[in-house]
Structure 1
Amino acid sequence: MDRAAAEEARKERDRLYVSDAEATFAHDELLPALPVPPLRQTVDKYLDSVRAVVSDEEYVLTEGLATDFENGVGAELNQRLLQRAQKSRNWLEQWWEDVAYLSQRQPLLPNSHMGGTFALFEDAFQFQGGRSLWAARNITCYLQFWLLLRQERLKPQSFRKIPWTMHQFRRFFNTTRVPAEGKDVLVSKFLTEAEENYAGESPSHVVVLQSGRVFTFDVLNDRREPLTTAEIATQLDRINDVCMRMGRGAGVGTLTHGDRDSWAQNRRVLLELHPDNERSLRLIEDSMFAIVMDDASPTNRKEVMTECLKGDCTNRWVDKSYSFIVFENLTLGSSADHTPFDGMVPVTCAHFVHLTYLATRHNQDDGDVAKSLPMPEELHFHLTDHLVSEMERVKMEYYALCNNLDVLCDVFTGYGKGFMKPVRIHPEAYLQVAIQLAYYKLHKKPGATYVTASTRGFYHGRTETCRACTPELVEFVQAALDGKTSITKVLDLLKVAVTKFEELMVECCKNHGCDRHLMGLALTAVEEGVPIPELFMDPAFIKSGGNGNFILSTSCNGYTPLIGCVAPMCTDGYGVFYSIEENRIIFALSAFKESSETNAEALYQHIKQALFDLQGLLLSAKL
């Protein structure tokens, strides 16, 4: 049975992620340019989303502002935006990175990083080989993913036979967000084998953070082959020996948790203080990824997610694009910067690692240890009293932010997509109905909702916002909860709401939503020195989610046992993330404790009840 399961995992991994026929980035330069939607269409979509969350009186005012905008300054700005789009294959790309990410000055953790949990709890708790070997076996799987990328054998992704850009995968490894005052800089040193001018141009070392210390070692040997699992385990054992012998280090990574301007200033002090600091920073920033050997022992998904988003700041380097976290009790997690890529990139890598581990766990060949294996190097920093005091200040501010964030992660075992498909409702549409039903029942009002829609069908495309709280969905929710509407009518309203969501999602994946276009028009006004149009100052703009104020920030993490989580967009908002398996749904929720309105646990209980209520409603239709 174990052998059959392993073979099944191997086949699934190869089917999903391995290709010898098409190169990973083969389609990237052939994809169409990101389009600018028609202005009238954008305004209509925006008004439709506003109608769902405001009163009739508020809507009339907003409709007037929208008409004035469309016929006046909006039309002028749209012409300028169209001119910009003619000169670029992705008119949004630079703005998106600069405004949505690099110009943001607040700390990256816990506010904007993506935390993730793995699914190998049972394996972790039963593993007999020690933490270094356990970590090494997983790191070996990461190296296989890295090699696929390097050799361009990672299968290009597509949707309904439309190729998707793989550009974001270039920035998974060897990538760092370097702090700078005013606006950070994203630096990536990853190259494919074909792009290298000389062997080793793309860095092949990792960094390991343990006990407030930072170490590095190369994961390739002298022949440019990956180290064996046994060799990686040996390096981790050596690092652990140093930490046991020397005790805790200074925890310089704490400084990366500060607001971006203060970290930029402190980094400059480090650079000017001593050449060793410059070398240490360069090695960290150029490394493939960070491996965190953490002291905590979280025992379930919620505790793991909490540690990933709110963990030991002396043992993290927040600027790195990706950190693989191995806890004391062998549970696993991750932390990723949102700047270089969206959530499905780390989910793809983690699922590949998951399947690779399952395929090899019962016949693992850890290999030998070469006698010439060099020792890991500890990276040292020279510090001043000022920097030490800065670390204490940042630590206090970081934990204050952490104490304000509530994180929940759990598995709903009532049913999964296996029930949804026969009733002809797309699983993501189904979840959006349940989430809105739960929010309305708890808060007695609709919640403006962000759902991630992928625009990767376009050159360097990332996301558009699907505004899932539609008038049709609100009408269904109100009818489902009023206790007076007939089941037949409620079912009819459900069908209309689901159809609307599915159509909206398809349009948004074509970049025909409203949020990115409106953002482009607002930024065009800023660049042209034009006063910000009244439309963007209207309270309904904020109320409907504009300017990052969606009450429900949601995303489907796919259909695997893996789940990620991000903090809410706004004070009185929630983060709601879900992964939909055949017979269960994994949820991760976040909320801010300072809010007098939100409660992650209460919303989750209402979501579970909403799922059962929806199931009962749909089953009653069959009777």
Structure 2
Amino acid sequence: MNNGLGAIIEPLFPSHIRWDVKVCGKESGTGYRTQDDDQITKVTKYTTNGTGLETKQQLPPRRQVALDLTFAVRLMRSPAYRVAQVPTLEETAARYVRSLHPLLSPAEYAASKKAVAEFVKPGGVGQKLQEKLIARREDPSTKNWLHEWWNDAAYLSYRDPVVPYVSYFYSHRDDRRRRNPVKRAAAISTAVLEFKKMVDAGTLEPEYMKKLPICMDSYQWMFNACRVPAKPADHPVKADPVVAKHIIAVRKNKFFKIAHDVDGRQLSTSELEAQFARVYELAADQRAPAVGALTSENRDVWTDARKVLLDASPKNAAALEAIESASFVVCLDDAAPVTLEERAHQYWHGDGQNRWYDKPLQFIVNDNGTSGFIGEHSMMDGTPTHRLNHYVNDVIFNNKVDLAESEVRSGLPDPAAVAFEVTPAVRAEIDRAIRDFDAVIAQHELAVQAYQGYGAGLIKKFRCSPDAYAQMVIQLAYHKMYGKNRPTYESAATRRFQQGRTETCRTVSDESVAFCNAMAEPPGTTTDAERVDLFRKAITAQLEYISAASEGKGVDRHLFGLKRLLEPGQELPEIYKDPAYAYSTSWYLSTSQLSSEYHNGYGWSQVIDAGFGIAYMILENSMNFNVVSKGLGSQKMSYYLREAADDIRDLLLPTIESAPPKAKL
């Protein structure tokens, strides 16, 4: 029987691929069984090439197909996946009011409760907006009621520079076998191209979250894509991967186009080495005008500068097209960062040159062989690129991809210079971009707390969620520095819904504040047993909120959506005028975790001038916190993070020592 799986699978893979799938239940039929014990009886894959011609391929129902289709079967059985949730007004009101309580004075809290009650009363404005939002959710043409609005408001209409304010970085663990940057760049490129093959073919093994399928839609924006500046909002472009089969390498601000497939064959690692070596030769020692610096500007300024660039010469349009359509970018930097902080600075922003910040994938290789990554955020969150970077390093370190030396084909085309015509007007735009970039970066402080005291291994012995535990470390550190807790954002993934991205987890709770206050009290005021109890209650509150947020039941996206439905000129409801709404959405701490044994750093910027951006990784025996702020004392916060991690460990260690031994069976 045909369960309509093709229609379900299609949004998950590139637009040039579609599927027709037939499965039958475990009682009948033939074919490879899925993990859910369904039987795939027929799989047909249709691929459209760059000229619009569609080819048909009958696939045997073997293991990889079964893995992919297991995902699809589970999608079909998971109605929550199909359309994002709209929480009830009552759910959101209760959760919102509860989140305000630890942040406000009694008088402020009473005023906020009154504004919320007025908003959600029967027949009130909130109910009318809720009806509109539900109608939007149920519109068959809308896959996700939030998707378009959020992409626009949070990213594409955002006008501040993407670096340092939006983009994020990963710092790779050293590859001691490939200190030569040419070899490191070639190995990375080979691994990335292997991952790209799976994305393009639609054979990348699906992701799951707590055994539930999560949406793979954003992977379509990983390769051959670019953000393009425009007013009032930017827009993404996607080149046909069947046609655009090249990498852009950047050295000394000079761009080079490297074909990664020649005569129907992907370049070997040795051939890529030869290409990158040639880039170093062609680039020589003299830096070119940093056209890439234009991408570091305010988006409106960059929009205007792009027009100046295009007006300067017809060949500039061709140069832009070559960069924007490239599979990905490899930045061959003339830096040699050593310490974790030096590396973090290099990958997060560098000197604003030798980059094209609008590309979603830029791999950075330095003269000393160290490497990292910077990602543009507008169409993808961190989890897909985190998976990519983890994969790249995993297959390199564990010899899962062929990096052996091989014969280099004669007659391979040299890297082609992607040359811009830089007129005085263009040069003036570049000079301004560099000045503006330097001024913005100079305002920021970055500190890395590479905490070696313990990690997930010990945290699990404490019977704690490592992520919730790290959140309490951050809360306690902030309390140590300021004597209070303030609004905190942690990203919660909502990719179990179609086109899902993130929701806010409001970390500060009555329970977390009670714990931090107890830890700050003089010795003897509160017993350690009482502090442990408060800590566990804070952990429970954190887990309850992030679980609800991941299920689409946070408060921030819902309130955002309701506000978006106000008619032009319609009076703003009191809930949005209430100072508590603005305060509780001012993220004094913006936090997120992405952990990999192959990374030694990960980070991004703060989101308000009075706040910190704290990205963290939790490994088996260590934790890493990347702390960024605008002159607030990032080094001091780093110190308090270490102290808080020590304090909580010391508080909980006796609970392990006093625990009764497990009974032997």
Aligned partners of 1:337 and 1:375: how far apart in 2? 29
The DSSP-based 3-state class of the residue aligned with 1:109 is helix
Relative to 1, partners in 2 of residues 1:469 and 1:19: Cα closer, same or farther, differing over 3 Å? farther
How far the C-alpha of 1:313 sits from its partner, in A, is: 2.0
After TM superposition, the structure 1 = structure 2 runs for residues 471-620 of structure 1, keeping only pairs within 5 Å, are 471-483=510-522, 484-525=525-566, 527=567, 529-544=569-584, 546=585, 549-562=586-599, 563-593=601-631, 598-620=632-654
Distance 2:160 2:73 in 1: 36
**2:422 maps to 1:383:** yes
Instruction: Write the distance in 2 (CA, Å) between the matches of 1:232 and 1:588.
Output: 33
- Which residue of structure 2 lines up, in the alignment, with residue 99 of structure 1? 153
| 2:130 equivalent to 1:78 | yes
Structure 1 distance, partners of 2:650, 2:372, is 36
Q: Give me the whole-angstrom Cα distance separating, in 2, the residues matched to 1:556 and 1:481.
A: 26
Q: Provide the residue aligned with 2:335 in structure 1.
A: 296
What displacement does 1:206 show?
A: 0.9
Contact 2:215 2:495 in 1 (8 A): yes
Relative to the length of structure 2, the TM-score reads 0.85
Q: Deviations over 1:170-207 (max 9, x none)?
A: 1111111100121101112365xxxxxxxx23x21111
Q: Does 1:176 pair with 2:221?
A: no
Equivalences for residues 250-399 of structure 1 within 5 A: 250-360=289-399, 364-399=403-438
* Deviation at residue 322 of structure 1 after TM alignment: 1.2
The letter for the 1-side match of 2:282 is V
Distance in 2 (alpha carbons) for counterparts of 1:410 and 1:610: 12
Structure 2 residue runs of 5 or longer lacking an equivalent are 1-62, 659-665
Distance between the aligned counterparts of 2:302 and 2:336, measured in 1?
29
Instruction: Indicate the larger mover: 281-290 or 131-140.
Output: 131-140
> Would the aligned equivalents of 2:225 and 2:238 in 1 still touch at CA under 8 Å?
yes
CA deviations over 1:187-230 (Å, ceiling 9, x no partner): 12365xxxxxxxx23x211111110111111111212x220111
Q: For residues 227-278 of structure 1, give each alpha carbon's deviation from its aligned partner in whole angstroms, at most 9, with x where no partner exists.
A: 0111111111111111117x22121111111111121112122223322111
Q: Provide, for residues 497-545 of structure 1, a one-character-per-residue CA deviation record: whole Å limited to 9, x for no partner.
A: 11111111111110101000011011111x554222222222211221x
**CA distance in structure 2 between the partners assigned to 1:119 and 1:19 by the alignment:** 30
Letter in 2 for 1:105: R
User: Counterpart of 2:163 in 1: which secondary structure?
Assistant: coil
Partner of 1:426: 465
CA RMSD of aligned residues (A): 1.9
Aligned to 1:115, the other structure's residue is in SS state strand
What per-residue deviation string (whole Å, max 9, x for no partner) do you get for residues 536-570 of structure 1?
222211221x2xx2111011113534242110010
- Give the 3-state SS of the residue equivalent to 1:490 in structure 2: helix
Q: Name the CA distance, whole Å, in 2 between partners of 1:303 and 1:363.
A: 31
- How far the C-alpha of 1:89 sits from its partner, in A, is 2.3
Runs (4+) of structure 1 exceeding 6 A deviation are: none
The question of whether the paired residues in 1 share the 8 Å contact of 2:351 and 2:438 is answered with no
CA displacement 1:285-333 (0-9 Å, x = unmatched): 0111111001111102211111122312221111111110001111111
Pick the structure with greater CA Rg: 2
Q: 23, 47, 61: which is aligned to 2:111?
A: 61
Superposition pairs for residues 27-42 of structure 1, below 5 Å? 30=76, 31-42=81-92
SS at match of 2:67: coil
Contact 1:560 1:580 in 2 (8 A): no
TM score, norm. by length of structure 1: 0.90
> What is the CA distance between 1:383 and its match in structure 2?
2.6
- Which of 426, 444, 448 aligns to 2:487? It is 448
Does structure 2 conserve the Cα–Cα contact (< 8 Å) formed by 1:204 and 1:218? yes
Q: Would the alpha carbon gap of residues 410 and 472 (structure 1) be closer, same or farther in structure 2, given more than 3 Å must change?
A: closer
Aligned position for 2:68 = 23
Using the alignment, how far apart are the partners of 1:28 and 1:209 within structure 2? 43
Cα 1:190–1:435 shift into 2, 3 Å: farther
Q: What's 1:9 paired with?
A: none
Q: Percentage identity across aligned positions?
A: 31
| In 1, Cα distance between equivalents of 2:449 and 2:246 | 35
2:50 maps to what in 1? none
Corresponding residue SS for 2:165: coil
TM-superposition CA deviations, 1:84-130 (whole Å, max 9, x none):
1111220000001111100011111111111221112xx34x646x3
Aligned pairs, number: 583
Describe the SS at the equivalent of 1:248.
coil
By relative contact order (CA 8 Å, sep 6+), the higher-ranking structure is 1
Instruction: Give the aligned partner of residue 233 of structure 1.
Output: 273
Is the 8 Å Cα contact of residues 561 and 586 (structure 1) preserved in structure 2? no
Distance (whole Å) between structure 2 residues aligned to residue 89 and residue 552 of structure 1:
32
SS in 2 for 1:23: helix
Structure 1 residues 19-56: Cα deviation after superposition (integer angstroms, max 9, x where no partner): 55323984797532001001111111111111111111
Distance, in Å, in 2 between the alignment partners of 1:28 and 1:543 is 41
Q: Indicate yes or no: 2:294 matched with 1:242.
A: no
Give the counterpart letter for 1:77 in structure 2.
L
Match of 1:414 in 2: 453
Describe the shift of the 1:609–1:32 C-alpha distance in structure 2 as closer, same or farther (beyond 3 A).
Answer: same
Question: Aligned partners of 2:628 and 2:530: how far apart in 1?
Answer: 34
2:172 is aligned, of 118, 122, 131, to 118
Tell me the equivalent position of 1:45: 95
Could you give the per-residue CA deviations for residues 443-474 of structure 1, whole angstroms, max 9, x where no partner exists? 11102111111111111111110101111110
CA contact (8 A) 2:394 2:598 kept: no
SS where residue 583 of structure 1 aligns?
coil
SS at match of 2:134: helix
Amino acid at match of 1:568: Q
Query: What do residues 134-153 of structure 1 show as CA deviations (whole Å, max 9, x unaligned)?
Result: 21112111111111212323
Counterparts of 1:458 and 1:559, CA distance in 2:
25
CA distance in 2, matches of 1:35, 1:534: 25
Q: What 5-or-longer segments of structure 1 have no aligned partner?
A: 1-17, 192-199
Distance 1:127 1:32, change over 3 A: closer
The question of whether the paired residues in 1 share the 8 Å contact of 2:480 and 2:520 is answered with yes
**Structure 2 counterparts to residues 145-164 of structure 1, below 5 A:** 145-164=195-214
TM superposition shift of 1:359: 1.4
